[in-house]
Amino acid sequence: MSTTGPECRHLAAELRALRVRAGLSLAQLAAATTYSKSSWERYLNAKSLPPWAAVQELCRVADEPERALRALWELAEADWSGRGKVAANPAEAVTSSSLPESVTDNGGDDDVTAPPAKAVAVEEVEKAEVASEQAETPDEPATAAQPEPAAAPVRRPRRLHRLRSSTGLFAVVAVVCAMLTAGVAYAWRSDSPAPPAVPYWKAIRMGCAGASCVGQDAQQTGCGMGPTTVGPDYFTSSAGADLQFRYSTTCDTAWIKAWNAQVGDTVSLSTPGVATQDLLLANAFLASDGADTPMVTAGRGAVLRACLTPVGHPTQPQCFTERVP
């Protein structure tokens, strides 16, 4: 692909975070796996999609479960290969060239001049019978003294019987073909809308839901797949840090994604009736590339409050508020 999609970048960011948490350099990661240092550099910077086996090896050396990353990898693989781009109207893929020529835009009622099926069948059977008789009767030398035998027409009744049987069979086949053609035309002209495409994450069983998700990581539980952004794309603090409210309709949970912050900054998320969840941006990777707070449970209409406390200024948090739609 010429450009890297958001799901591929998301997967790469999670893999980088996993490497940092494991305390591995690129050289150490290459030594602990079957993939080279240059390969890991491409995978971790979203220059190339890592094979699933590489993700498994990273999870193994970092002692992390594979389930959440498996789901992210499937989304990234679909994004990378282009399979995730679903046509807006799948019915547009059906063209008139795939239908019988007798089907037209007005339902196949156009006048078409064609010989009747029964007449065509009779003519074809006549030709076949004549050819069969010519093949069965050997040629004999013609003599002027021998007249043509008068008994030859006695075979006519048997030919007529076979002709009528064949004609009936052809008529039945013609009726069946007409019924099939009408069924295809009816299905093609149906105005019923195609069913909407189901996102990948809807078919995946999440690791938690609602109150059982409080304090857990959105990515490891699977709730981080296909999140909804609440409010604007992101809020920017006076210190330049960016905060984004994220919500999972599948898990009924919310969390904050923070990036462009300073090492030592703290991000907190609160909602009435649920324990406040805090995130310490302990290193440069988490502060710069992005990290998620633990989740809180939040239903429709819940008020979410996110606060960024700059390092060295514990009494000067800057807060933003949004409501789940």
Boundaries of CATH 1.10.260.40 in the chain? 6-81
Closest by alpha carbon to 218, among 235, 230, 206? 206
**What pLDDT is attached to residue 127?**
55
| Average pLDDT, 10 consecutive residues per value, the chain (325 residues) | 74 88 87 92 92 91 82 88 55 40 41 44 49 48 49 50 54 62 50 50 66 92 87 91 93 94 94 95 84 93 95 90 94
Q: Are the C-beta atoms of 73 and 33 separated by less than 8 Å?
A: no
**What pLDDT is attached to residue 87?**
42
C-alpha separations of 68 from 32, 82, 208, 321 in Å = 22, 21, 12, 29
Topology classification of domain 6-81:
434 Repressor (Amino-terminal Domain) (1.10.260)
Crossing angle of helices 37-44 and 6-22, rounded to 10°: 130
**What pLDDT is attached to residue 69?**
85
Boundaries of CATH 2.60.40 in the chain? 206-323
At residue 108's C-alpha, the angle toward residues 186 and 171, to 5°, is 90
- Which two three-digit tokens encode residue 176? 């069946």
Using alpha carbons only, how large is the chain's radius of gyration in Å? 37
pTM above 0.85, yes or no: no
CATH 1.20.80 assigned to 206-323: no
The length of the chain is 325
C-alpha separations of 192 from 47, 92, 99 in Å = 42, 13, 18
Half-sphere exposure of 175 (CA within 13 A, CB side): 5
**What pLDDT is attached to residue 54?**
93
